[in-house]
Structure 1
Amino acid sequence: MSIPIETEKLLGPLNDFERKHAPRELYLEGRKSLLQDGLRVSVVGSRKASENGVRRAQALVKALVEHGITVVSGLADGIDTVAHETAVALGGNTIAVLGTPLDKAYPAKNKDLLELIKHKHLAVSQFPMGYPANPKNFPQRNRTMALISDATIIVEASEKSGTRHQGWEAIRLGRLVYIMKNVADDTSLTWPAELIAYGAQVLTRDDMPDVLYDIPSFTAGVESAF
């Protein structure tokens, strides 16, 4: 059984706002050092991913892996699954942040993927074993995913997608948020313009090299807790 570890012992000192909104403890299984070493970028998007969305996610993760950046996502259907599977296939590192306890995969069909991540990468949950499934778990999961990431990239998301929560939580925490240009240009969506007004940036493929070099680490200078 995984023993909870205080969040600040994992991530280093948090500022007052981070501390207010962070879970006090996290449950981990896998390579804990992935929460200390290098940059971490969340790649998130719709559960009902389009073909173009899948291709964009794959290209984005390829660029992240090539730059030695750990890919963070939420193990959900669609873009999240593509992000994890692509990072694994390319020999990169990935962290799954769960809206369930560590012993339960959601969706259930990702059980094998979760087991692989726990064995070779890292799974993170703020929920103890036996914690009941609840829709509110997933926005909380998004807040934690934003917390442990240096930046969040939204690949695609509908007007009511839960992915929006991740963007807002990252903005509130002072993390960088990038929205793929195809999403920002979609006139059927209102939330991209709202996020952009609060500091999110539009991301194109041509921007990628410069963006990846410019992402600051929120744990820079923190001594390892391990």
Structure 2
Amino acid sequence: MRTIGLPTLLEQVHRPALEPKQLDFLSSAKQSGIATIYYSGDLGVLNQRAVSIVGTREVSDEGRRRARKLARELVAAGVTVVSGLAKGVDTAALSAALEVGGRTAAVIGTPLDKAYPAENASLQEQIYGEHLLLTPFAIGEATFRGNFPKRNRVMAAVSDATVIVEASDTSGTLHQAAECGRLGRWLFIMRSVADDQSLSWPRKFIDKPKVAVISSTQEILDAIEK
């Protein structure tokens, strides 16, 4: 883990905490037991449609390609790309969105002044400086593995939809999938994942309301614009 200490961040983390009721998207976080969300950056990125792109840290080359393509196409449609700043799918999606001038929001499982993994510190600095960084954890709170499901619940709450690009049966991404159902948010599963017979988790979600198996970005756009 790396500590972020740039003045712009330190100035912003001392702002009053953002109450979820102040934004329509974040009001759902209260239902998840998340009373306060801390932020750095521009809350305006959540004023337009927002879609989470999530998945495994150990992403395949094809999964990385899909995440990047999806992010670029969502940006072209004026959609904010949301992800979690973990290795793998998260990094691929956020990096691709930034490369084409898109708006991004990253939700992290640490306080705002910490970067995990450390290799994403520069990416995190770019996002909190020019876009939006969110966390349910206050400065000084300890970081545990158990923090990350809470991060996933926040991602589901601030997004109109979540897309799972690639995930195993034990992936933490499934916490976000479940939260989408509880909040009535769209959950999209890539066709390549749904058709993978080695996975059991897609079958647990496919027949639920507002869950769709997709092969194209347009299917996402059609659903969230209805």
Could you say whether these structures have the same fold, taking a TM-score greater than 0.5 normalized by the shorter chain as the test? yes
Change (3 A) 1:190 1:100: same
CA contact (8 A) 2:25 2:158 kept: no
Post-superposition offset of 1:7: 0.7
Q: Residue 92 of structure 1 aligns to a residue in which SS?
A: coil
**TM-align CA RMSD:** 1.6
1:53 paired residue among 55, 60, 63? 63
Quick check: 18-27 or 145-154, which moved more?
Answer: 18-27
The one-letter amino acid paired with 2:98 is V
Question: 2:166: which partner in 1?
Answer: 156
Question: 2:34: which partner in 1?
Answer: 23
CA contact (8 A) 2:64 2:92 kept: yes
Q: Residue 206 of structure 2 aligns to a residue in which SS?
A: helix
**Aligned-partner Cα distance in 1 for 2:15–2:174:** 30
The one-letter amino acid paired with 2:147 is N
Change (3 A) 1:104 1:13: closer
Quick check: 69-78 or 24-33, which moved more?
Answer: 24-33
Post-superposition offset of 1:11: 2.9
Q: Residue 25 of structure 1 aligns to a residue in which SS?
A: coil
Q: How does 1:125-164 map to 2 (within 5 A)?
A: 125-164=135-174
Structure 2: 5+ residue stretches without partners: 1-13
**Aligned-partner Cα distance in 2 for 1:25–1:193:** 34
**Aligned-partner Cα distance in 2 for 1:97–1:39:** 16
Establish whether residue 212 from structure 1 lines up as the match of residue 221 from structure 2. Answer: yes
Establish whether residue 201 from structure 1 lines up as the match of residue 215 from structure 2. Answer: no
1:168 paired residue among 156, 165, 178? 178
CA contact (8 A) 1:7 1:22 kept: no
Quick check: 194-203 or 80-89, which moved more?
Answer: 194-203
The one-letter amino acid paired with 1:86 is A
Question: 2:75: which partner in 1?
Answer: 65
Post-superposition offset of 1:197: 2.4
**Aligned-partner Cα distance in 1 for 2:120–2:88:** 11
Question: 1:4: which partner in 2?
Answer: 17
The one-letter amino acid paired with 1:34 is V
Post-superposition offset of 1:209: 1.8
**Aligned-partner Cα distance in 2 for 1:204–1:22:** 34
Post-superposition offset of 1:12: 6.6
Q: Residue 197 of structure 1 aligns to a residue in which SS?
A: coil
Question: 2:5: which partner in 1?
Answer: none
TM-score using structure 2 length: 0.89
Query: How many residues matched?
Result: 212
**Aligned-partner Cα distance in 2 for 1:13–1:152:** 15
CA contact (8 A) 1:61 1:86 kept: yes
Identity of aligned residues (%): 45
1:177 paired residue among 172, 178, 187? 187
CA contact (8 A) 2:83 2:107 kept: yes
Question: 2:118: which partner in 1?
Answer: 108
Q: Residue 201 of structure 1 aligns to a residue in which SS?
A: strand
Post-superposition offset of 1:22: 4.5
CA contact (8 A) 1:97 1:123 kept: yes
Change (3 A) 1:134 1:160: same
**Aligned-partner Cα distance in 1 for 2:176–2:41:** 23
**Aligned-partner Cα distance in 1 for 2:80–2:204:** 28
Question: 2:45: which partner in 1?
Answer: 34
Q: Residue 189 of structure 1 aligns to a residue in which SS?
A: coil
Question: 1:222: which partner in 2?
Answer: none
Q: How does 1:77-116 map to 2 (within 5 A)?
A: 77-116=87-126
CA contact (8 A) 1:150 1:216 kept: no
Q: Residue 43 of structure 1 aligns to a residue in which SS?
A: strand
Post-superposition offset of 1:9: 1.0
